Amino acid sequence: MLVERIREKLVYLGNGIIDASVLLNHQVDVDVLSQAASHCVEQFKGRRVDKILTLEVSGIVPALLAARELGVPMVYARKGRRVTQKECFEAPVKSRTTDVDTIITVDTRMLKAGEQVLIVDDFLARGEAVAGIASIVEQAGAKLLGVYCVFEKTFEGGRERLEQLEVPILSFIRLTIQEDDLVVEEGVEWETLISKG
């Protein structure tokens, strides 16, 4: 039921681009993203999470909902630097949808050494955004617990690129392309990774 509902709202534009405007990129389907947040929290229950980290803009809602369920702060990396940020951790990222290189930043006051951080984002595609966010976690001296994305584009190699992080990489919904048609299915869970490992 949920998968069918999500499939009806996603539009495949070709060339690997998926329009999720009516779910999380322009309009927010709070019910779907709340279910994703609950699923995320379920996967990491029993583990200490000090902060959730994401990237503006589309990652903010799923990260905020998960942070609320966990009762922890949510921090988002900014694209560029603001005058209010005196010292920053930063990393280069290339956007999949705009094909633009940008520097993402997190004020050094927001992440502390020894904190346990969970990355929550909207899409896992080529893994560049998550790799950039993970670099910031490392710069802060914090510990990365795992990566959770609402949607995973299985055909863009992001999961493989991020294997070097050596943390669980989980998703709520997996998206594949078969004969130029979008296939939507339930995502990868922690138990699945354990059974394969």
Quote the domain boundaries for residue 83: 2-196
Q: How many CA atoms lie within 13 A of 88 on its CB side?
A: 19
pLDDT, one tens digit per residue, over 60-80 is 999 999 999 999 999 999 988
Domain count within the chain: 1
Q: What percent of the chain has pLDDT over 70?
A: 95
CB atoms inside a 10 Å sphere around CB 21: 12
Query: Which distant-in-sequence residues (6+ apart) come within 8 Å of 168 by Cβ?
Result: 43, 145, 146, 147, 190, 193
Which residue in 108, 54, 51, 109 sits closest to 77, CA to CA? Answer: 54
> What's the rounded mean pLDDT across residues 180-193?
82
Instruction: Give the residue ranges of DSSP H helices in the chain.
Output: 2-9, 30-43, 60-70, 128-140, 158-162, 190-196
Two structure tokens written together for 182? 């979008």
Surface-to-core class of residue 35, CB atoms within 10 Å of its CB (0-12 exposed, 13-18 middle, 19+ buried): middle
> What's the rounded mean pLDDT across residues 157-167?
95
Residue 99 pLDDT level (bands cut at 50, 70, 90):
confident
Two structure tokens written together for 112? 């502390």
Residue 111 pLDDT level (bands cut at 50, 70, 90):
very high
- In one letter, which amino acid is 27? Q
> What's the rounded mean pLDDT across residues 158-172?
95
The CATH number for 128's domain is: 3.40.50.2020
pLDDT of residue 63: 98
Which string of DSSP letters, residue by residue, matches 87-143? SEEEEEEE-TTT--EEEEEEETTS--TT-EEEEEEEEESSSHHHHHHHHHHHHHT-E
CA 74, CA 117: separation in Å to the nearest integer?
Answer: 10
